[in-house]
């Protein structure tokens, strides 16, 4: 439906939408604005334009937040998780979408159930188990946890992409002499590639932003993620809000930049599973 019934409705609509947009952008704008101010200036007025632009807030935040190490950790963790989820998830999604095994119903039901499992249900034994195995502060071990947590929904999403591929393509490939594995890797994977990219993006975002697991399993100075590092650093320097907002901006910037760049794929991927026709 395009166009409103009349002018008043349309005006009202734009007013409400404009206000909603303002509410949404306001805190983000405050973050950006104050990240450029000295601490006393923030206190004088959070809304004022900076008298002097303080880029050094950023350098100090980068240093105090230990972001060189933390960003590297976050990056490794994110990439590892993406590889694990996409690798294992695409195989499972393929098998479930194509009902290649008799127990596909059981496995699908189980995975759906774990999509909604509360982290606390498995967190405590997992933590003490990891502690015993010496896996605390181990970025790779944590990426396996993320893989377990993010896999179910990724599989459900990937499944829809596999379902959209005509069965005849697989059959044609089988006749062309492909093994089952080749059917999967040389025909199916390239076709569902957009789905895998979407999943990679969402899993990457969730991993980068994740708080509960990261703060529990990665507390050591050398293994912290950017999020955990910011969390601890923002707990210590609560007087210098300028520097703190600079730190916040540093952490969100890569995510927001990527989002603006690939918003279509983000939005489709994150809303896709929820919209039921």
Partner 1 sequence: MASVTLSSVSKSFGAVKVLENISTEIHEGEFVVLVGPSGCGKSTLLRMIAGLEDITEGTISIAGQVVNDTAPKERDIAMVFQNYALYPHMTVAENMAFSMTLAGSSKAEKERRVREAADILGLNDLLERKPKALSGGQRQRVAMGRAIVRSPRVFLFDEPLSNLDAKLRVAMRAEIRALHQRLKSTSIYVTHDQVEAMTMADRIVVLNGGKIEQVGAPLKLYDDPANTFVASFIGSPAMNFMEAEIMDGDGGRSLVLQSGAKITAPAWCSRPSGTPVTIGVRPEHFLFGQEGVEMSVEVVEHTGSETHIIANHGSQKIVAVTNQRLDAAYGDKMKLGFPTGTMLLFDRETGERIRE
Partner 2 sequence: MHRLYLIPTLAINLSIILLPAILTIALAFFRWDGISQPVFVGFDNFQALAGDRVFWRALTNNIIWTAIFLTIPIGFALLVASMLLLISRGRILLQVIFFLPIIIATVITARVWQGMIFNPVSGIFGWLEQFGIHLTNPLTKTATSLYGVAAVDLWHWWGFLAVIFFAALRQVPAEQIEAARLEGATFFQMLRYVLLPGIKSTIMLMMIMTVIWSFLVFDFVFIMTRGGPAYSSEVLSTMAYRLAFYDLNVGKAAATALVISLFGLVATFFYIRAQAKDGDL
173 binds partner 1 (CB under 8 A): yes
**Taking CB within 5 to 8 Å according to partner kind, which of partner 1, partner 2, none is near residue 257?**
none
Helices 67-97 and 193-209: crossing angle, nearest 10°? 140
The residue with tokens 């195995």 is 133
**Taking CB within 5 to 8 Å according to partner kind, which of partner 1, partner 2, none is near residue 101?**
partner 2
According to CB under 8 A, which one of 71, 153, 184, 217 is a site residue for partner 2? Answer: 184
Least distance (Å) from partner 1 to the CB of residue 177?
4
According to CB under 8 A, which one of 14, 22, 55, 193 is a site residue for partner 1? Answer: 193
According to CB under 8 A, which one of 7, 8, 23, 168 is a site residue for partner 2? Answer: 23
92 binds partner 2 (CB under 8 A): yes
Rg, the chain, Cα only: 23
Distance separating alpha carbons of residues 6 and 85, to the nearest angstrom:
50
Least distance (Å) from partner 1 to the CB of residue 168?
4
234 binds partner 2 (CB under 8 A): yes
Q: Which two tokens stand for residue 178?
A: 């492909």
CA dist 97 to 79, 107, 205, Å? 26, 11, 25
164 binds partner 2 (CB under 8 A): no
Phi/psi at 57 (5° precision): -55, -40
Most distant CA atoms of the chain, gap in Å: 75
According to CB under 8 A, which one of 187, 218, 227, 250 is a site residue for partner 1? Answer: 187
């Amino acid at each position: 439906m395009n166009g409103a019934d009349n002018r008043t409705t349309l005006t009202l609509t734009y007013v409400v939408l404009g206000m909603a947009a303002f509410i949404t952008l306001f805190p983000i704008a405050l973050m950006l604005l104050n990240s450029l101010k000295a601490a006393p200036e923030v206190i004088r007025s959070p809304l004022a334009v900076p008298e002097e632009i303080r880029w050094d807030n950023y350098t100090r935040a980068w240093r105090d937040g230990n972001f060189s190490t933390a960003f590297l950790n976050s990056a490794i963790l994110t990439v590892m998780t993406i590889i694990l989820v996409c690798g294992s998830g695409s195989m499972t999604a393929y098998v479930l979408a194509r009902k290649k095994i008799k127990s596909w119903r059981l496995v699908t039901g189980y995975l759906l159930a774990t999509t909604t499992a509360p982290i606390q249900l498995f967190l405590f034994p997992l933590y003490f188990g990891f502690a015993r195995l010496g896996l605390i502060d181990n970025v790779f071990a944590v990426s396996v946890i993320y893989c377990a947590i993010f896999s179910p929904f990724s599989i459900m999403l990937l499944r829809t992409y596999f379902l959209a591929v005509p069965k005849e393509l697989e059959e044609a490939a089988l006749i062309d002499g492909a093994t089952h594995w080749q059917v999967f890797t040389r025909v199916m994977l390239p076709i569902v590639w957009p789905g895998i990219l979407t999943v990679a993006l969402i899993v990457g975002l969730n991993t980068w932003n994740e708080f509960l697991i990261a703060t529990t399993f990665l507390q050591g100075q050398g293994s912290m993620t950017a999020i955990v590092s910011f969390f601890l650093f923002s707990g210590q320097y609560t007087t210098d809000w300028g520097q703190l907002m600079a730190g916040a901006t540093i952490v969100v910037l890569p995510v927001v930049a990527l989002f603006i760049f690939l918003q279509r794929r983000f939005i489709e991927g994150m809303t896709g599973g929820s919209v039921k026709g």
